[in-house]
Structure 1
Amino acid sequence: MTYRSRLGEGGPARPGPANAGQEVLLHRCFTESSVTSLRHAVSAAVSAAGLSVELAEDFVMALHELVTNAVRHGGGTGTLELRQQADVLTCEIVDHGGPADGLPVRLSPTDLPGGRGLWLAHQLTGSLMLTQRPDGVTASVSACVTASPAVPSPATTTDAVTGPSPSEDT
Structure 2
Amino acid sequence: MRVVTERGFTLEPQFAAHAPAMFELLSDAAIYEFENEPPASVAALRQRFKRLESRRSPDGSQQWLNWVIRLHSGDVAGYVQATVHGDGRAALAYVLGSRYWGKGIATRAVRAMIGELRAKHGVNDCIAIIKSRNARSSRLLQRLGFLGAGPETRAIALEDDERLFVLRANPSSR
Bigger Rg, which one: 1
* TM bucket normalised to smaller: 0.3 to 0.5
Give the TM-score, by structure 2 length: 0.33
Give the TM-score, by structure 1 length: 0.34
